[in-house]
Amino acid sequence: MQLRYIENGSFLQLRPEEYTLEHGRVFDVTFYGMQTFTSFWVKSEELYKSFPTLKKNMRLGITFQTEETSYRFTGEAIDANMEGSYYLTLIEQITPIEIVSRRTHFREEMILPTNVYGLAPESLHSALPRKAADAAEFTCEVFDISDGGICLVSNELFNSPYEPYFLVEFTLRGKDYFLLPAKLVRKGQCPQTTMFKYDYGFNFIFDHKPEEKHRLSDAIFSAKLDRL
């Protein structure tokens, strides 16, 4: 894996190896574009504003994932700049990109309508996550699903101020209703099917309600049996 294969708009997480801010700080950033063969810009107001307080040459543990595989490498924040309304930080890659893990969840292909709502930030760590607004941010179709995540497809380009955390709403078999918190981990040109222009990969978040993962797994299995 090389930097140039990371799609613009992909989500990455940066973890400083030393913490000059609160302990355990993690920055969720968006890949913005390449600067050189080994450096790239990321978009994040939070990281941009924290740049002056980061120690020079502080190492950053960087992780990201595609639909199939998780990756990690180490980098350094070397510059920060504004481009229009975008808060950008320049990262220099200092170690090779390595595979952390490959997808462990088998995904079942199915077509069903789905609504994506903004997740109220204050409810992210709650067992009862709430919609940020009554209106859906996005309406699209499921391409495939597992008890770990879901791939959505659309001919509409989806951008939202709530990224990367959402509530994903769908019903399996016409009766198994779900409204699950999820993190958008990938979006780009649709390699899944020629019927749609874009696809979006979400990972479900079951940290505060693990029983929902078991209910979803059972519902997916039952839906598969219904199709046999």
Residues 129 and 71 in one domain: no
Residues 223 and 137 in one domain: yes
192 vs 36 pLDDT, higher one: 36
Which of 102, 135, 153 terminates a domain? The answer is 102
Residues 84 and 112 in one domain: no
Instruction: Look at residue 228 and tell me whether its pLDDT is greater than 60.
Output: no
Instruction: Look at residue 167 and tell me whether its pLDDT is greater than 90.
Output: yes
68 vs 153 pLDDT, higher one: 153
Residues 120 and 90 in one domain: no
So what's the pLDDT on residue 23?
42
Total domain count, the chain: 2
Q: What is the mean pLDDT of residues 4-13?
A: 84
Instruction: Look at residue 21 and tell me whether its pLDDT is greater than 50.
Output: no
Residues 54 and 150 in one domain: no
Residues 18 and 120 in one domain: no
Residue reference for tokens 């502080």:
58
Residues 85 and 184 in one domain: no
Instruction: List the Cα angle 119/46/186 in 5-degree steps.
Output: 55
118 vs 69 pLDDT, higher one: 118
The range of the structural domain enclosing residue 20 comes to: 3-102
Which of 68, 83, 102 terminates a domain? The answer is 102
Instruction: Look at residue 34 and tell me whether its pLDDT is greater than 50.
Output: yes
Residues 26 and 130 in one domain: no
Residues 113 and 80 in one domain: no
Ranges of H-type helices in 13-139: 45-50
Q: Which two tokens stand for residue 137?
A: 């941010």
So what's the pLDDT on residue 22?
42
97 vs 104 pLDDT, higher one: 97
Provide the mean pLDDT of the chain. 84
Instruction: Look at residue 91 and tell me whether its pLDDT is greater than 90.
Output: yes
Q: What is the CATH number of the domain that holds 139?
A: 2.40.10.220
pTM of the full structure:
0.58
Which of 61, 80, 102 terminates a domain? The answer is 102
Q: What is the mean pLDDT of residues 73-88?
A: 91
Residues 6+ apart with CB under 8 A from 83: none
Expressed in angstroms, the distance from the first to the final Cα of the chain is 38
Nearest to 43 by CA among 2, 91, 5: 91
Q: What is the CATH number of the domain that holds 40?
A: 2.30.110.10
Residues 166 and 87 in one domain: no
The CA distance from 220 to 150, in Å, is 12
Residues 89 and 154 in one domain: no
Q: What is the mean pLDDT of residues 7-33?
A: 75
